[in-house]
């Protein structure tokens, strides 16, 4: 494939790998179920390879792009596109998606090839604004998608898995090879869909304490729970909790982490 824009050099520091394969773009849009009238948001549109077909499908698009040079290119290109193109030149990590959804009159549908350099912070930002979205169809590094969807017991299961699975239904869709991008990343990518749960998968009663327990359990993966949680939970309490202190965090289900949170709350009262 050719370089997408002769006057532009992607910035590695910003994780800029531009999706340019039209077949992959078409497949993403189909998987996202984009239709006319959607409150459609694209994050990191780059040179607009996916923006134009998204706009054609929905009739309106809000694109979030931080890079000044890319913003100018998008403004120039979009003047020739049918539909209504809104460019928000902002850092996606600073966008208040709940306010945006309120302004637009309903939940947002996000379709994005996320900048890989900030993909993890963005996922937690989406978590903070969960109520703003109807669904999110995202391209990320395959290893990140593997972590998002991982069940307990394996090396991929961790903090990201637990927090996202608790609040979203996560469906890995398909893989995308490096050849679909310019420049080609050194990793395989994957597309995943997140749909907010109407209620959390488990009730934890105290989100802050739940987060502390999960973070501590995975702080050093080789540590047993008795060592990893020593600052929160004295050794004698484990017998009362019903959790074997010799287990490691990666073996606990989300429900078991919720049970530990409930147990510690009772002990602290």
Handedness of CA 185, 50, 41, 193 (dihedral sign): negative
- Tell me what pLDDT residue 131 has: 97
Query: Which 3 state secondary structure label does DSSP give 74?
Result: helix
Q: What is the pTM of this model?
A: 0.92
Specify if 5 maps to a domain: no
Only one residue has tokens 């109520």, namely 131
- Tell me what pLDDT residue 11 has: 55
Q: What distance in Å separates the CA atoms of residue 220 and residue 230, rounded to the nearest whole number?
A: 13
- Tell me what pLDDT residue 222 has: 85
Q: How many structural domains comprise the chain?
A: 2
99 shares a domain with 191:
yes
Q: Which parts of the chain register pLDDT below 70?
A: 1-15
Cβ-based neighbours of 178, under 8 Å, separated by 6 or more: 184, 185, 186, 187, 188, 189
147 shares a domain with 263:
no
- Tell me what pLDDT residue 10 has: 53
Percentage, residues of the chain above pLDDT 90 = 85
Q: What distance in Å separates the CA atoms of residue 193 and residue 186, rounded to the nearest whole number?
A: 23
129 shares a domain with 25:
yes
Domain boundary among 196, 230, 246: 196
Domain boundary among 166, 196, 226: 196
- Tell me what pLDDT residue 269 has: 78
Q: Please, what is the average pLDDT of the chain?
A: 93
Specify if 177 maps to a domain: yes
176 shares a domain with 218:
no
- Tell me what pLDDT residue 58 has: 96
Please give the residue range of the domain that contains residue 244. 207-268
- Quick check: 90 and 97 in contact, CB under 8 A? no
């Amino acid at each position: 494939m050719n370089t997408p824009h002769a006057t532009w050099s992607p910035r590695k520091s910003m994780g800029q790998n531009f999706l340019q394969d039209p077949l992959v773009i078409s497949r993403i849009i189909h998987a996202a179920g984009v239709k006319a009238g959607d409150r459609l948001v694209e994050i990191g549109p780059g040179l607009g390879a996916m923006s134009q077909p998204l706009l054609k499908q929905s009739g309106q698009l809000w694109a979030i792009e931080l890079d000044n040079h890319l913003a100018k290119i998008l403004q120039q290109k979009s003047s020739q596109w049918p539909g209504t193109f809104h460019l928000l030149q902002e850092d996606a990590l600073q966008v208040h998606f709940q306010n945006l959804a309120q302004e637009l009159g309903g939940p947002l549908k996000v379709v994005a090839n996320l900048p890989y350099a900030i993909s993890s912070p963005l996922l937690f930002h989406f978590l903070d604004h969960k109520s703003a979205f109807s669904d999110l169809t995202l391209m990320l590094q395959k290893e990140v998608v593997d972590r998002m969807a991982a069940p307990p017991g394996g090396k991929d299961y961790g903090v990201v898995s637990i927090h996202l699975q608790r609040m979203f239904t996560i469906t890995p869709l398909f893989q995308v090879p490096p050849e679909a991008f310019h420049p080609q990343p050194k990793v395989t990518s994957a597309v995943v869909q997140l749909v907010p749960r109407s209620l959390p998968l488990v009730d934890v009663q105290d989100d802050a304490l739940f987060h502390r327990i999960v973070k501590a359990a995975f702080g050093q993966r080789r540590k047993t729970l008795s060592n990893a949680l020593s600052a929160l939970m004295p050794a004698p309490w484990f017998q009362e909790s019903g959790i074997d202190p010799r287990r490691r965090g990666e073996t606990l289900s989300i429900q078991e982490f919720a049970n530990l949170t409930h147990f510690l709350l009772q002990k602290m009262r």
